[in-house]
Amino acid sequence: MSTSKDRMRRQRSAARQRRLDNTWVFDMETDPFDNVACTYVQPFCVVFFNHRHGAIRLWKEPEQSDDDFKARIMEVFDEIKYPSTFYAHNGGKFDWMLLIKYIRGSIMRKGSSLMSARAGADEQHEIRDSLHIFPSKLATFDKQKIEYSNMSKENREAHKREILDYCESDCVNLLELVKDFIEKNGNCISIGQAANKEIRKTCVYSRLSEHFDGVIRGVDTNYYHKDTYGRPNGKGYVFGGRVECLQGRGVFYGGSLGDYTLFDVNSMYPDVMAHCQHPIGGVDTFHQRKDISDATCFVHLRCRNHGALLQHAVVNGMLATTADIAHGDFRTTIHEYRVAVACDLISDVEIISTIDCDKQTDFSAFVIPAYIRRAELKVLLSAHEKSDPCYSENPEYRRLNLEALMIKLFLNNAYGKFVQNPRNFHREWWLDENDPAPEEDCTYTRYPMIGMKHWRKKKDLWDDERTDPDTGRKIPGSYRLRGPRDQLRFHNSATGASITGAARAKLLYALYHAVDPLYCDTDSIICRSLGNSREVPAGLEPYAVRIHGSELGCWKPEKVFPKVEIAGKKLYCYTDKDLKATIRSKGAAGLLPGDFPRLLRDEKVRTIAKGVTIMLDGSQIYQERWITATANDGPSLLRRRIDECHNLHHGRPLAISA
């Protein structure tokens, strides 16, 4: 006899199959980017693809205008009668934005990226950005190669078939990724959401998240406080990864003391999720104390800081995260506090208060099995690569490779959901000029270029005194209470603050035991060597320096080079023995190796993005930036302390720079 659980299981299975059957992918080819002439780009080739219906291929004929071709693209949405979901890779910043004039109704954006919107007759279809479920380049999985000069206006007609086949190939590969994600995770809009669901299934805990509307509850990280509203790095215990130019700016050479090596950690955040204890539970599990106990998660202290603890401060006129505050009040995690005390990186300590949590756990039940499975997959993939000359076309190889990729992305994106602020996800609408506001408390901006009005729901209002609708009592200092259909769900920010703190503690412990450390970034260090010849103190085992090929949490050498030029955070260039230069410059695409001597002379370097940025009004710009060196002229507090301790106790050499 069929039970209610069996019926529910069949219903869920049928719903998932309908979702798969009604999933399409979308890709377009556009005019080549030209950041010299700064010309507009427009689509000339579009492919829709579905596993049941195959490909719908559109080509812009010479006599068609750009608007006519875009109108034809939108007609395809109208021709598909059953409600469907359409995915485009990086569509939220590019593909869908090129069609912004034709999008109607409600949309959801995160930052500048469109996550979800409506399209088609009666807005029956949903369009999404697949980059949120596969946050990597499509080439990471599979991508056909093509000569991009064939897409220029003068060449494309002669290569029409090749370009259409290339575009369809991208769609086939993308649909394989999307279908795999939906089969395993249902209708999740992002990989972080899917990973959080998996954590709930595998880890035993009590109330990992709850509604935080009304009075601010839980551990007071000030993450949602009115004074730091909209600034994720406001005062409190929530910090990001540690990035530091330890020896300051300059050109550093290997020489007789040995070349420099870039070390990084195998899955830093999954490692500390698995091997460290983190707070969970609701507001009733947190307690403020005056001293440190076995249950302490966060510490508010006053001390002399030797580069161990971070603080939010104004640096060069901007709010920044820095470890170069020598004395003051610091809010930190117990992980960083333990390492700082063990390595003698703080002194004159006065504990102001601590926050204890009765319920703590690790996430090893989520991390360890997944990491073991990924290691098994690597062995199987390696066997295919050795035995099969055409392994990349083998269906079994593709399946195993996709599983390995998704496990890596799941593990690396699991922690961020805990500190995510849902107020950063805006409820917005694209409507015609004459359409009224869809809800109360909305503001709008007119964009005549596309003939639309962009309605945005007002941000939450802070009430210094709000009345509780049930009791009539005044509630001091809180956000207005939202209605049930508009309720926000906050995850436990204390959990995320603890995870990121544990990662910084592991990095700090490795930095202290490194020889001539020059630079660090979240899970990597540039130094001459890593090592710790002494025994690891009790309680610091999760942060210990272990160097081994593939084990979770072990450090491994990635690159060896005799020369590195450091101009600032996420702004450096290293040159290997073959004189090949590699640039790392976040937000400064277009830099050349020859630009670094200029940066180190305090000259400004102008860069223009290679790709176009599409604005909400439909306009296009090639972003121009002026890059300057941001690193200090000399060593940081931490580097000076490391040199002092190592020279006194270990006889290790100081850095040599030129």
Tens-digit pLDDT profile for residues 553-584: 999 999 999 999 999 999 999 999 889 999 99
Instruction: State pLDDT tens for residues 106-143.
Output: 888 887 888 999 988 788 899 999 999 999 999 889 88
Tokens coding 272 = 């500390």
Rounded Cα distance, 420 and 275, in Å: 22
Residue with structure tokens 């440190």? 292
229-243, 423-437, 476-490, 540-554 — which is least confidently predicted?
A: 476-490
Tens-digit pLDDT profile for residues 436-475 = 888 877 888 898 888 889 888 776 665 566 666 667 776 5
Mean pLDDT of the chain, nearest integer? 85
Least confident of 88-97, 154-163, 417-426: 417-426
The runs of H, that is alpha helices, within 153-257 are: 160-185, 191-202
Can you give the pLDDT at residue 464?
61
Confidence bin at 33 (pLDDT 50/70/90): very high
Banded pLDDT at 308 (limits 50, 70, 90): very high
Q: What is the pLDDT of residue 223?
A: 42
pLDDT-derived band at 393 (thresholds 50, 70, 90) equals confident
Paired strand residues for 251: 565
The mean pLDDT of 164-190, rounded to a whole number, is: 93
Higher per-residue pLDDT: 7 or 45: 45
DSSP secondary structure, 455-501, as one string = EEEPPPPEEEEEE-TTT--EEEEEEPPPPGGG---EE-HHHHHHHHH
pLDDT at position 224 is 45
* pLDDT exceeds 80 at position 76: yes
Percent of the chain's residues with pLDDT above 90: 51
Report domain extents, the chain: 22-189, 364-413
Question: Does the structure show a pLDDT above 70 at 87?
Answer: yes
Q: The pTM is what?
A: 0.89
Q: CB of 355 within 8 A of CB of 288? A: yes
* Packed helices 395-412 and 364-387: angle between N→C axes, nearest 10 degrees: 150
Residue pair 117/91 in contact by the 8 Å Cβ criterion: no
Report which DSSP code applies to 601. T
Mean pLDDT computed over 317-335: 89
Which pLDDT score is estimated for 232? 36
User: How confident is the model at residue 485, as a pLDDT?
Assistant: 60
Compute how many other C-beta atoms are within 10 angstroms of the C-beta atom of residue 430. Answer: 22
Topology at the third CATH level for domain 22-189: Nucleotidyltransferase; domain 5 (3.30.420)
How far apart (Å, rounded) are the C-alpha atoms in residues 31 and 218?
A: 51
